[in-house]
Amino acid sequence: MSGIIVIGSQWGDEGKGKVVDVFSSQSDYVVRYQGGSNAGHTLIVDGKKTVLHLVPSGILHPKTKCIISTGVVLDIETLIVEIKALKANGLLQDPSQLMISDTATVLLKYHRELDQAREEEARNEKIGTTGKGIGPAYEDRASRKAILFGDLFNPETLKAKLEKSLDEKNFLLEHKYKKSPINIDSLLKDIEVWTEELRPYRNKNTSYDIHQALKADKKILFEGAQGTLLDLLHGTYPYVTSSSTISGSACIGTGIGPNQIQKIVGITKAYTTRVGSGPFPTELDDEVGQHLGKVGNEFGATTGRKRRCGWLDLVALKYAIRINGITNLALMKIDVLSDLENIKFCSSYEIDGVETHVYPSTPGELAKAKPIYKSVKGWKGDISKAKALQDLPAEARSLVSLIGSEVGIPIDVISVGPGRDQTIWVKPLF
């Protein structure tokens, strides 16, 4: 049993891509199991930047096999762009390195258009979606209308499903949102070309293959997208994404049992960011917030939007630990905190005049939460070359140990910069 889940413990953008990339070199398989091209992993390897939205970050390691499993919504146009870019960079030379589940949900341009049209119309109630069509694609899956990846290889099924889908989608686009309808013939022609490009990566039974790999004691990394607080059921609803982003989703999205999971690694930035709307108790609307955004380069990898920034919230982190069953933590981007006079973290909330350590279960309550902070002394100077705990200034070491003891979980990884080698391994992963 060597399944490990890597999960974001905040509102996404915690730095999962780098952790998955580093852990991938030790993994036989890396599996994406939910979300779609709303995710964006920026990887810096040998100074070269690669942004991946759908292909698991493990693709950078030629010996690691990557699987896009059933729970993912697959924007095939984006996927092709990504595959071409990887190939142009000398990666993905062997098609058997990438497997796409026949039962993943296909996302097409009408999903994107509907997503964007709805968001435009929402005026003051915008979710802040990435506009990548994620919500409409998952709606199709839930209403049993989705085109599955395997359907692409069966022209009759594809045409029938597309006709049915467009019947409804074009009505909405044309009459409700005053947009141009989608022409089925030209879309079918495009899909025919895309299908041939994707044929080499088709896999008819990823759930079985993952089982077999687990039975053979292969090391499998399940790569979460987005973050805990964007979970459809347990996040800050309605300001969430349309998939389950918590660890249980790794089992649902791939078709394996929870007893196959050995470790759940929570990725936590040393401060907090959020893109899109919704409550954010520790948000900073001041110079420190601007400093975090600037030094941390907090702009979305998918949309380029400026991320909202604030202090680390341990009430939210403890919630993430609880609902994901997080066993180990990776603390990211602590280098961004260098040169701050004092560093704060939220250790409890005050809601209606009462102090609580429990993350509220409703967004209304969360909106009322006032953070109660603890403050520690900061450090000066560059820590991005630290290779071991003892290379960090005493103040940074004590911050790390304070966070670990407040949340009761070991911090196994500390990241001090974007590069692979800018990582302190307190304990090995596997």
Dihedral sign computed on CA atoms, order 226, 232, 236, 239 = positive
Is 130 among the residues that bind ligand IMP (CB under 6 A)? Answer: yes
Dihedral sign computed on CA atoms, order 384, 387, 389, 391 = negative
Cite the DSSP H helix spans in 222-370: 248-254, 287-295, 314-324, 363-368
How far apart are alpha carbons 101 and 9 in whole angstroms? 27
CA atoms in the 13 A half-sphere facing the CB of 293: 20
* Two structure tokens written together for 346: 């939220």
Q: Which of residues 170-189 bind ligand IMP (CB under 6 A)?
A: none
Q: Which of 135, 150, 281, 289 binds ligand IMP (CB under 6 A)?
A: 135
Q: Please pick, among 13, 115, 140, 209, the residue that the annotation labels catalytic.
A: 13
Is 279 among the residues that bind ligand IMP (CB under 6 A)? Answer: no
How far apart are alpha carbons 13 and 206 in whole angstroms? 27
Stretch that binds ligand IMP, among 169-177, 206-214, 235-243, 326-334 (CB under 6 A): 235-243
Please name the residues in contact with 404: beta carbons below 8 A apart, sequence gap of 6 or more.
Answer: 329, 410, 411
Q: Nearer to ligand IMP by C-beta: 52 or 67?
A: 52
Indicate the pairing of strand 271-274 with strand 308-313. antiparallel
Tell me if residue 41 is catalytic: yes
Minimum CB–partner distance for residue 373 and ligand IMP (Å): 24
Q: Nearer to ligand IMP by C-beta: 23 or 280?
A: 280
User: How many residues belong to the site for ligand IMP (CB under 6 A)?
Assistant: 21
Is 56 among the residues that bind ligand IMP (CB under 6 A)? Answer: no
Q: What mask of x and - would describe binding to ligand IMP in positions 2 to 41, judged by CB under 6 A? A: ---------xxx------------------------xxx-
Stretch that binds ligand IMP, among 123-131, 164-172, 182-190, 291-299 (CB under 6 A): 123-131
Tell me if residue 13 is catalytic: yes
Q: Which of 230, 265, 409, 411 binds ligand IMP (CB under 6 A)?
A: 230
Is 128 among the residues that bind ligand IMP (CB under 6 A)? Answer: yes
How far apart are alpha carbons 197 and 207 in whole angstroms? 23
Residues for the chain: how many in total? 430
Q: Which of 248, 276, 371, 418 binds ligand IMP (CB under 6 A)?
A: 276
Q: Please pick, among 41, 53, 111, 234, the residue that the annotation labels catalytic.
A: 41
Strand partners, 101: 203
Minimum CB–partner distance for residue 40 and ligand IMP (Å): 6
Coil/strand/helix, residue 85: helix
- ∠ CA 400-240-302 to the nearest 5 degrees? 75
Q: Which of 30, 72, 79, 134 binds ligand IMP (CB under 6 A)?
A: 134
Q: Are 242 and 230 in contact (CB under 8 A)?
A: no
**Tokens 């660890």, residue located:** 247
Positions marked active-site: 13, 41
Residues that bind ligand IMP (CB under 6 A): 11-13, 38-40, 127-130, 132, 134-135, 225-226, 230, 239, 241-242, 275-276
